[in-house]
Structure 1
């Protein structure tokens, strides 16, 4: 029996347990599901142990797997910490920086900022990770993160860049067909774009005294960039970042105050990486670009 299986097998093993499935592990590691499955089979063969129960619902870790996972997870954390320390000790600017942000910020705000950064720092490669899940900076899943909440881990350096107002918006083609609502009562009688599984909008409407259901949202999706494109196509009224709506031709900010809490923007990096010249350079440049975006004049008239 090989007592020292390749680390890639252990990494896949840990991902399957942490993510709960082969498919989840594959998405997390950026590998194919068959590859993850082969890694699990190879690990079991090298250890001479069965680690998972196979069933119609997928793989279920047995007691032995769960005991092993605790040690593998500690090893994974230690390796991630070593990688962070090594990256923070690097003096040169050349290299790669992995940046993660929400799908909306990544697709509609960061491109222009990154274009300027690449002109300033042509020797730094940038890996951009659009995701609405919280990538783990402590595990080096990203070097820098744009968060819509305040991170609390002591190992992280965080900077509050500002708050983005969220407002109801619609495309002028939709308003030409249906008219422009001016009150909350008018708003809910329109075609609303909403989330499929999340009830965040419904819960907020209840705080305003309106008992909405899924039927109030005839077009639904949990993919926010997709909702944005549906909004731009004139399918109905949605909710958007004020500055993004103002700078998108054809979109109109509706004159209705929904008292939606603004979206906080925090820029985050592991404190050990903050000493890396290239990571600090990208961190500062992203901070400057996002601050300019956030502080765009919110009193300017909507684009029509």
Structure 2
């Protein structure tokens, strides 16, 4: 019999091409992965990887194992999900994933209230703008700002969080208050470095701009937020967050900005787990009270 742990490390190394990248993806250490690969090579009796300029490349023997290993992994994950779904006590760990902004600025007071209400439930919070795979149990509950499409997931839309244009009162007193979208072109707008969402938004309103239009640029949403609060320029922010900051003023320039949907998502196999269901219900109530229906 082959230990599934060894196969999981093997698949991660195949998928990511290096021990360091695989270790980061699986949340383990590079020495542990290396040991797992050596143990698996001992079991199958043949080398599974060779080094190249591109990293670790699987041998023909390794490639012959990949499909069967993936099938075994899917079966193991399905079994674990079903077993997890049978939990009936309000004790243990629940892993939540949400965007970096939501994790930093919206969830902390909610998690604090949850800990008071359910002190036996421990919370792991994964702040990531990359969608975690609930089918692989990367998380128990996900808060997402897009409509989930994966099968075997249950999703509930909790509401919308509109976006607005904001700047600090100090910045506007210093630079003046734009009255039209054309005026916005003469102001310091906090933009994205590589993402093109804001450039496309300008284009939709008839303004062809490049990234050089934005004197301060970053793709990190939390950095955007802190630059906005520091008065570095005009920025885009959720009304839910910016409306609670007295130093920020909302600009009404007629720019059509989308409202971000907020979905709570979990795997259908774990919804019968008492502690996960309790956390999901708590998050639902708290977020719906804050969001627009």
Instruction: Report if TM-score (shorter chain) is over 0.5.
Output: yes
Of 111, 118, 134, which residue of structure 2 is paired with 1:114? 111
Question: In the TM superposition, what are the counterparts of 1:170-185 in structure 2 within 5 Å?
Answer: 170-185=167-182
- Cα RMSD between the aligned structures? 2.0
Call closer, same or farther: CA 1:44–1:255 in 2, change over 3 Å. same
Of 73, 82, 91, which residue of structure 1 is paired with 2:79? 82
What is the Cα deviation at residue 84 of structure 1? 1.1
Aligned length: 293
Which position in structure 1 is the counterpart of 2:135? 138
Which position in structure 2 is the counterpart of 1:211? 208
Deviates more, 1:28-37 or 1:180-189: 28-37
Structure 1: runs of 5 or more not aligned: 297-304
Of 94, 101, 106, which residue of structure 2 is paired with 1:104? 101
Which position in structure 2 is the counterpart of 1:36? 33
**Cα distance between partner residues in 1 of 2:18 and 2:47:** 16
The alignment's TM-score, normalised by the length of structure 1, stands at 0.89
What is the Cα deviation at residue 41 of structure 1? 4.6
Deviates more, 1:148-157 or 1:99-108: 148-157
Which position in structure 1 is the counterpart of 2:248? 251
Of 159, 165, 169, which residue of structure 1 is paired with 2:162? 165
Question: In the TM superposition, what are the counterparts of 1:215-294 in structure 2 within 5 Å?
Answer: 215-294=212-291
Displaced runs of 4+ in structure 1, greater than 4 A? none
What is the Cα deviation at residue 255 of structure 1? 1.4
**Cα distance between partner residues in 1 of 2:74 and 2:154:** 18
Which string of whole-angstrom CA distances, capped at 9 and with x for unpartnered residues, describes residues 24-52 of structure 1?
A: 32222123345434544554454343333
Structure 2: runs of 5 or more not aligned: none
**Cα distance between partner residues in 2 of 1:57 and 1:172:** 52
